[in-house]
Amino acid sequence: MKGESLVRGGIFITIEGGEGAGKTTLIHTLAHKARQEGFEVMTTREPGGIPIAEAIREVILRKENTAMDARTEALLYAAARRQHLAEKVMPALKEGAIVICDRFVDSSLAYQGHARGLGLEAVWEINRFAIEGCMPDLTLYLDLDPEIGLRRIEQNGEREVNRLDLESLAFHRSVREGYRLLESKFTERFVTIDASESRERIAENSWIKLESKLRSRKEMK
């Protein structure tokens, strides 16, 4: 399983992590800092980001859809990902923007490939067709004990509770294992951030990695 990189003018940043890891908060912080530095930034999420993908998201995450087959789930994620890339992400990257996305292909590999037991290679093949070589330049993985993440969700009355939130603790621990496998497979872009630390510390550590990527891209130009 090898990542490919699509030639483009922008920078593609993805934020990964288990449920309740704090991805949304971090994305807002990083986008704000990057804009202050004069960069054009677009934030988005998966599944979703555009009407078609948001409609697929509703099907995938609806709490009542407990009968959903694991392969169906993987295919729906890949379909939403493809439309999102074609309609929103790829055009922004071609225009030279920094795209910061809440979840991408690593989520499918960790959740469906590892935790659902479909296999990393099988899920990678589905998504390789969908992403057409468009891989992230940098992935920040927020690593957190699943018990803490699920507790955060319970305490946050504003966050939506979806079908994945209702999975067993064992499932979420398996997701974490999946991400750790990906860390060893994609060493050139995958950075693990300790999400048990304060929001300020998480933002600081993440910004150091992102700023380094922005600086190197400037130097290449």
What is the amino acid identity at position 97?
A: A
Look up residue 117 and give its two tokens.
Answer: 């037991």
- Write the DSSP symbol of residue 75: H
What angle do helix axes 70-84 and 51-61 make, rounded to 10 degrees? 160
Look up residue 210 and give its two tokens.
Answer: 């992102």
177 is in an annotated binding site: no
Owner of token pair 């729906």? 76
Distance CA 39, CA 41 (A): 6
21 is in an annotated binding site: yes
18 is in an annotated binding site: yes
Owner of token pair 């994945």? 164
72 is in an annotated binding site: no
**Neighbouring residues of 195: CB distance < 8 A, sequence distance ≥ 6:** 17, 21, 22, 142, 143, 144, 202
9 is in an annotated binding site: no
> Reduced to 3 states, what is the DSSP secondary structure of residue 221?
coil
Look up residue 113 and give its two tokens.
Answer: 């490939």
2 is in an annotated binding site: no
Distance CA 59, CA 87 (A): 20
22 is in an annotated binding site: yes
Give the DSSP H/E element, type plus range, for residue 202. helix 199-220
17 is in an annotated binding site: yes
Please give the annotated binding residues, written as ranges. 17-24
Please give the annotated binding residues for ATP, written as ranges. 17-24
